[in-house]
Amino acid sequence: MSDGQHKSFFNGRFRHSVDKAGRVSIPAKWWRDRKGESFMVVSWPLDAPKCLKVLPPELYEKILDGLGGGQLTNDADAIFVRVLGGNSEIQEIDESGRMVLRPDLCESVGIKGEAVLLGCIKYFEVWNQKSLHAELPASLKAATESAKQKGI
C-alpha cells in the first residue's frame, strides 16, 4: 500500500458454517491485522443479488467519498444511495473471528447453514455454494479474457 501500511490480501476459498445467529467464521489471515475495523456488507449486484460483497474500510470509504453531496442534488446518486443503504450494513469481525450476516441479506443470495468465502484480493465475497458453482464457468471465461487483454 502506498501509505506504508500493509493490509492482508483476501485470497483463497473457504467453506464455513453459518450459525443460527447468522455468524460466519472469517479466515484468520484475512482479519488478524484488521482487528477493530468495520466492513460494509452489501448484496451484489444490487439489481439481482448473487453474493454478498464484504468491503474493507478503504474501499467503502472511497465509495462514500465519491458521492460527495451529489445524493442531495442528483437523482441518480440519490437512487444509488437509497438502494446501497437499504441493501448493506456495517459489521465488525468479533474477537473470535466471526462476522454477523444480516438475515435478509443472506436470504437475498440463498445463504443458509453454510457459505463459501471467496477472496477477491482487495475485498471478499460470501456465496451460496450452488450459486458459486453455477457462476464459475462464466467467471473463468471472463477472467481468462481479462488476463489476455492485460497481457498476463
pTM of the model: 0.88
Query: Which residue's entry shows cell 446518486?
Result: 77
Residue 101 lies in a domain: yes
Residue 6 lies in a domain: no
Counted domains in the chain: 1
Q: What is the 3-state secondary structure (H, E, C) of 72-126?
A: HHCHHHHHHHHHHHHCEEEEECCCCCEEECCHHHHHHHCCECEEEEEECECCEEE
CB 55 within 8 A of CB 129: no
Range of the domain at 110: 13-149
Query: Which residue's entry shows cell 502506498?
Result: 2
| Average pLDDT of the residues in 107-117 | 97
| pLDDT band, very low/low/confident/very high, at 1 (cuts 50, 70, 90) | very low
Residue 8 lies in a domain: no
Residue 135 lies in a domain: yes
Residue 124 lies in a domain: yes
Can you give the CATH number for the domain in which 61 is found?
Answer: 3.40.1550.20
Residue 139 lies in a domain: yes
Residue 1 lies in a domain: no
CB atoms under 10 Å from CB of 141, counted, come to 10
Q: Residue 24 contacts by C-beta under 8 Å, 6 or more apart in sequence? A: 16, 17, 18, 98, 99, 101, 115, 117, 126
Residue 2 lies in a domain: no
| pLDDT band, very low/low/confident/very high, at 70 (cuts 50, 70, 90) | low
CB 126 within 8 A of CB 54: yes
> Residue 34 is placed in which grid cell?
484488521
Q: Is the pLDDT of residue 71 over 90?
A: no
pLDDT tens digits along 7-66? 678 999 999 999 999 999 999 999 988 888 999 999 999 999 999 999 999 999 888 888
